[in-house]
Structures are given as C-alpha cells and as structure tokens.
C-alpha cells in the first residue's frame, strides 16, 4: 500500500532523529525535488538527501515555511505538481 508523499515547503525547519556532527538537530529546507536540500542550523553546511531518506530520518517539524508561496512540491505518478495545480 503506497503512502502519500511528505509535503515539504521551502524554509521548513525540520528536526532529524540523529544530531549532525556539529551537535545541531535542526535543519532548514533550501531545495525541493527528488533530493531535498537541507542547511544545518549549527554550522551552515548544506547537504542533499533523497526524499525517501529524509522521510525516514525526520523526527518532527519545528516550523513550517510559507505555504502560500507555491514552493511546496508534491511528486505524482506523472511528474511534479505544485499545490495550486491538480495532478
């Protein structure tokens, strides 16, 4: 049974299950797509994680980014749909 993909927005602040080597737990979403770009709050390092890996490592959302900017991307079977578009 397929699960709904995690909806992410630019500037979401997420907390992962394990800390970064610098000691920080929180990350900001800076890139959306098949790979999710994250920036560490402790050392400002940027990393790319596959969406599936991020979904497994995600503990909680600290804060959500602006949903009205149209920056949320949801993968669909036929490609990518923005929140204001119907797949």
Please check whether residue 53 lies inside any domain of the structure.
Answer: yes
> Which domain, by its residues, includes 11?
1-65
Please check whether residue 78 lies inside any domain of the structure.
Answer: no
Q: pTM above the 0.75 mark? A: no
Please check whether residue 16 lies inside any domain of the structure.
Answer: yes
CA distance 7 to 33: 11
- Counting the structural domains of the chain, the total is 1
**Mean pLDDT (whole number) for 49-61:** 93
Region of 23 please: left (phi>0), alpha (psi -120 to 50) or beta.
Answer: left
pLDDT at 54: 93
Give the domain CATH number at 37: 2.30.30
Q: What is the mean pLDDT of the chain?
A: 82
Per-residue tokens: 73: 């991307």
**Band of the pLDDT at 4, cuts 50, 70, 90?**
confident
């Amino acid at each position: 049974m397929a699960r709904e993909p995690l909806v992410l927005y630019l500037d979401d602040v997420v907390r992962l299950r394990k800390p970064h080597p610098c000691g920080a737990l929180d990350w900001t979403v800076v890139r959306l797509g098949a790979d999710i770009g994250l920036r560490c709050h402790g050392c400002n390092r940027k990393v790319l994680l596959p969406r599936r890996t991020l979904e497994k490592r995600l503990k909680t959302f600290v804060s959500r980014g602006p949903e009205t900017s149209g920056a949320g991307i949801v993968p669909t079977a036929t490609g990518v749909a923005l929140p204001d578009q119907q797949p």
